[in-house]
Structure 1
């Protein structure tokens, strides 16, 4: 019996169909394997065996750039295992900082020993927020940077049990929301002139004299982000650094002494209703460009040890050299790099 005859046109269509099928199958496999978070294994160091989750989610200060860089420092130089979460637009699985309702991987908080966040005006679904709420109820240590004072912004119509986290919450016991209850302050105002005045860090003399280990090796911090207004962070807060506004946007800009000093880094405790007591380190610095400051990176690394109750292991001068390349974008709305995938921040 003769094989069925296929003319040239039929063969071409057949092979075209095969190619399309292979391409679609390959694309599907790639989509299924696409990373939605970063993970860095811990190397040798005191932090080996400890897990840190870093959550990027602000639309102004480029946390999607700064937190992966910090994660690599913590893993490479100090041994911590780190996982970085991002705001993801699910349409193309791209990192979109102003997409405010999706941060995949929040379940990583379940076995995290410490979290570092830089969030602004998020309204996450309950399925994601429940992991953050459970983390806080467990009294686990938290490091909160810059706009985390106003991390959450729930709509007036929200029926979420986590709407109390809203930065201007009026819920009893949660007045002014997450920022006030956990960190000691919510968003108040720009004390320094935004994008015109930077922040010169002035170490608290009492804490420096007492050799607070969080200040080990920390001497010179200038941040491009301006000083925030901080009114009352609570009696149990310990101010480590005050911030002076600088009359200019360079490290050598003079201090504007007409403006008062404000706390820009402090520690305190927190507790949710029915939860355990936890440690928190907060700083109103932390933009991606701020982290070009070696001593600001060192301050955050030291605070990580402190949060984990590892004060005796805080180095006299922690290694905080940048791993790989780091060219942060200047802060601002809608100036983030578009079309970025999580793998682009490795």
Structure 2
């Protein structure tokens, strides 16, 4: 019976995903009973392959009953190019977003796209932010959006920018050795029953632990044990790197210009390869439910709807020549 249900779910996801798609973004309509909520997923980083992970997460969210729209960085021919930090396709989707999932790095979008993003922020849209979203933006000092930059000064209004002031942390450092030492999650005991951790077991990722000291008030959910290698069975590094362990996932609320604060979930994990771990996918999905003040499933089904082989994180090795529809998991 279980196998039959799984097959039906995958078939339903496939039918939804393979429907005619727009040329510059992806839309996954709910393949389960629609819950009326629209999640907009923002891809656009040069290293961690969010252009591959966001479509996969969008398909999983559609299976949960959400409408999911995935936006990309595109070149003039409509080809996905994550190195083009000034481009966000179909940003008008942000005008109707109920929640945002993002994995972006050093973006410097046009005024219209930024106005739409800020509009979503100021109406209290919850955000689930992954990995390099802590340093999501990088504008020139004289830009009207300079306060969003990862290195913004106090005089801009937001010291250390969107990452620090909204998500709770900006870029700090590679605490673990990049591409050598992995990350194993350890639950913060005091917050073990937080809804975002529902059904979430130990996460292992091949990215390293980022330096982080989330801005108060923040609720630490997970800390990162630095491992000696990128093997999931690797023992922990001995010494100061794991004493104390650095936060790798937390929640907080951000007070915007409206009366509805943004519920924020931030994790410094989130490369496409990290999201091969079902427990990290479940953390993200749970974050969407929690952010929207919906009941979080006891163990959300985060089955990947097809064959998904994420690229290793790298500044050089993104899959070139692809349109958004080529990134649907099949």
Structure 1 length as normaliser, TM-score? 0.85
Contact 2:248/2:267 (8 A) holds in 1: yes
The within-5 A match list for 1:148-163 is 148-156=133-141, 158-159=142-143, 161-163=144-146
Distance 1:217 1:275 in 2: 32
2:147 pairs with 1:164: yes
Instruction: Assess if the C-alpha contact under 8 Å between 1:136 and 1:271 holds in 2.
Output: no
Q: Give 1:117's aligned residue.
A: 102
Structure 1 residue 85 corresponds to structure 2 residue 71: yes
1:44 Cα offset (Å) = 2.1
| C-alpha contact (below 8 Å) 2:206/2:273 kept by paired residues | yes
- State whether residues 60 and 332 of structure 1, in contact with CA within 8 Å, keep that contact through their aligned partners in structure 2: yes
SS of the residue aligned with 2:95?
helix
How far 1:334 moved relative to its partner? 1.6
Once residues 36 and 339 of structure 1 are traced to their aligned partners in structure 2, the CA distance between those partners, rounded to angstroms, is: 14
The verdict on how the C-alpha distance between 1:319 and 1:186 changes in structure 2, with shifts beyond 3 A counting, is same
Larger-gyration structure (1/2): 1
Maintained 8 Å contact 2:146/2:156:
no
Q: How much has 1:309 moved relative to structure 2?
A: 0.3
Structure 1 gap segments, 5+ residues each: 1-32
Q: Does 1:230 align with 2:218?
A: no
Number of residue pairs the alignment of both structures matches: 304
Classify 1:173/1:275 alpha carbon distance in 2 versus 1 (closer, same or farther; 3 Å).
Answer: farther
Q: Which residue of 1 aligns with 2:60?
A: 73
Check the 8 A contact 2:180/2:229 in 1, yes or no.
yes
Q: CA deviation at 1:106?
A: 1.2
1:63, distance to aligned residue in structure 2 (A) = 0.1
Alignment of 1:337 onto 2:323:
no
Which residue is 2:27 aligned to? 39
Q: How does 1:240-259 map to 2 (within 5 A)?
A: 240-258=221-239, 259=241
Tell me how far apart the structure 1 counterparts of residues 261 and 235 of structure 2 sit (CA, whole Å).
Answer: 41
What aligned pairs does 1:185-204 form with structure 2 within 5 A after superposition? 185-204=169-188
Deviations 1:237-265 (A, max 9, x none): 00000001110011111111321311000
SS at match of 2:69: strand
| 1:81-111 CA-partner distances (Å, limit 9, x unpaired) | 0000000111x21100111111111110111
Is structure 2 residue 292 aligned with structure 1 residue 305?
no
Instruction: After TM superposition, list the pairs within 5 Å mapping 1:123-142 onto structure 2.
Output: 123-142=108-127
The structural deviation recorded for 1:216 is 1.2
Q: Is the 8 A contact 2:181 2:230 kept in 1?
A: yes
Post-superposition shift, 1:298?
0.8
Aligned to 1:266: 250
Q: What is the SS of the residue equivalent to 2:119?
A: helix
How far is the alpha carbon of 1:203 from its aligned partner? 0.7
* Cα offset, 1:150, TM superposition: 0.3
Q: Any runs of at least 4 consecutive aligned residues in structure 1 with deviations exceeding 4 A, and if so which?
A: none
Give 1:213 shift: 1.7
In structure 2, stretches of 5+ residues that fail to align are 1-20
CA deviation digits over 1:56-94, x for unaligned, max 9?
A: 010000000011101101102x1100000000111x211
- What secondary structure, in the 3-state scheme, does the structure 2 residue paired with 1:116 have? strand
**Other structure's SS at 2:318 match:** coil
**Matched residues in 2 for 1:103 and 1:137: separation?**
19
Q: For the residues of structure 1 that align with 2:188 and 2:161, how far apart are their CA atoms?
A: 28
1:138-160 Cα offsets, whole Å, 9 max, x none, are: 1110111000000001124x43x
**Contact 1:136 / 1:275 at 8 angstroms: preserved in 2?**
no
Pair 1:277-2:258 in alignment: no
Worse-matched range after superposition: 59-68 or 267-276? 267-276
Q: Is the 8 A contact 2:163 2:169 kept in 1?
A: yes
Output the CA distance in 2 between the equivalents of 1:35 and 1:88: 10
C-alpha distance in 2, partners of 1:34/1:270?
33
